[in-house]
Amino acid sequence: MGGRGASSGISKKRNVYGSQFHAVKDSNGKALVSGNVKFIQSNSRDSESLLETMTKGRVYALTGGDDLIKIVYFDKENKHVKEINFGHKHAGLDPHVHHGYFHNENDGKKGATRLTKEEKKMVESVKKVWHDYLSRR
């Protein structure tokens, strides 16, 4: 899990792939994964945005402490395509969705959209897994 440049192994800021984020571990010490969703945390407040991955079609649930921060979607070319953000309003929406490789390059004038039915299902599923994980710690 890296920032920009994960496919090449080094980001534009010269960070090595996998150095900016780590997998959340379950009680058995294994990465917390549900289907194609992997739960991760940043290693520092200065971590770059998740823009590329080495796993085709991966979805990451980015967490911070006990909070779910965002769900980030990647396409078959391993590039960031959209993210669902939590905990702050954008265009009066919380949660909200940004589209594109960069934060909101393919959003409309308001800069974010409401969740689709499929995205709402994903949020429910991710929140359930995260809540279950927190209750077992």
- Quickly count: other Cβ atoms within 10 Å of residue 25's Cβ: 12
Look at phi and psi of residue 121 and say left if phi exceeds 0, alpha if psi is from -120 to 50, else beta: alpha
Domain ranges within the chain, ordered by starting residue: 21-136
Q: Which of 3, 101, 109 is nearest to 49 (CA)?
A: 3
**pLDDT per residue over 30-39, tens digit each?**
999 999 999 9
8 Å CB contact between 38 and 75: no
Q: Can you tell me the mean pLDDT for 111-130?
A: 95
Which residues are 31's β-sheet partners?
25
**Does residue 84 or residue 106 have the better pLDDT?**
84
